Structure 1
Amino acid sequence: MTVVITWLVAGTLDLVAAFTLFISQTNKSPTLLLRSITSAALGSRAFRGGSVMALLGLIFHYAIALCWTVFYFVVIPRLLPCGGVLTHAVAYGLFVWVIMNLIVLPLSKAEPRPFVPLMALVNIVILILAIGLPCAYAAKNYPLPSFGF
């Protein structure tokens, strides 16, 4: 149950931050951002598919958040058995950003975006606060049983 709650908290925090940043920069509907998430899998047709594509983007977003949450609970406490919540949150937020931006997005069908250092920093901070911190806190305070691993 801890993983599920952490996943929903992390996924929602990340989505709210992404919506806030997107709307403040573009003054456009957040459904466009959700279609952009869908475009990573379906390419440009995600922008022609209406609300179904936005819903699919929401599903993809939470599926990705679930993967990152489960990965944290299963792998990180075994790799980094010591260290504080904040240290783990920062390291994990950076790790998620690197994997998503240097591996996942380049392999996707999404349109490449130019690298803007300030935006990269903002996105890293969002990942630290939205994904890293909830995962690190929950795993530290409510660890999963080891099952002999």
Structure 2
Amino acid sequence: MPNKPLAIVAAGLAGGAADILTAFVIYRPATPDRILQAVAAGLLGPASFDQGMTSVAIGAVSHFVISILFAGLYVVGAGYAPVLLRKPVISGLTFGVFVYGVMNAIVVPLSLAPERPVPPDPMIGLGLMAHAFFGIALAVAAARILRTPKI
């Protein structure tokens, strides 16, 4: 597959942007700064909320690094299962739900973020929706870069 590094970075940025922008809407009235500090809390713990723009920047960078890592997994997977590039919407939707599970069952529990109560069902649904947008944006971006045009 040509342009794998470009596909990984572009897909990660596209997915990460779709996810974080959806989070900014879902978690209102929390501000984008506060949401990014919550992301940074995974690395910094509760002190993240006292570190101002430093933790906002750490949250933004870490969010997109994680998105790019997941994009790398998707692009490598597409090398073994080209259907991921031929059917990016359904593949991306499925991948987004997979990422939601990984983040909530493995990454967040192992992070330094303070424990939170189990969210109500509507918030779980909105979180799944944000990750669906993440997966679709990631998969469509990867497919546009990596699919070979039909002659």
> Under TM normalisation by the shorter chain, which class is it?
0.7 to 0.9
* Structure number with higher relative contact order (C-alpha < 8 Å, ≥ 6 residues apart): 2
Equivalent-residue separation in structure 1 for 2:138 and 2:17 (angstroms): 13
Identity %: 26
Equivalent-residue separation in structure 1 for 2:39 and 2:113 (angstroms): 8
Question: Alignment length, in residue pairs?
Answer: 140
For structure 2, the residue ranges without an aligned partner over 5 or more in a row are: 1-5
Bigger drift between 96-105 and 60-69 goes to: 60-69
Q: Which residue number in structure 1 is paired with residue 82 of structure 2?
A: 81
Q: Which residue number in structure 1 is paired with residue 3 of structure 2?
A: none
1:64 aligns with 2:66: yes
Residues 111-141 of structure 1 show CA distances to partners (whole Å, capped at 9, x for unaligned) of 2222222211211111111x21122223334
Asked whether the equivalents of residues 77 and 139 of structure 1 are also in contact (C-alpha less than 8 Å), the reply is no
1:121 aligns with 2:122: no
Equivalent-residue separation in structure 1 for 2:43 and 2:13 (angstroms): 22
For structure 1, the residue ranges without an aligned partner over 5 or more in a row are: none
CA RMSD of aligned residues (A): 2.0
Please state whether the residue corresponding to 2:54 is helix, strand or coil. Answer: helix
- Decide whether aligned partners of structure 1 residues 42 and 140 sit closer, same or farther in structure 2, where only a CA change above 3 A counts: same
TM-score w.r.t. length of structure 1: 0.83
Equivalent-residue separation in structure 1 for 2:46 and 2:111 (angstroms): 12
Amino acid at match of 1:73: V
Amino acid at match of 1:118: P
Equivalent-residue separation in structure 1 for 2:113 and 2:19 (angstroms): 19
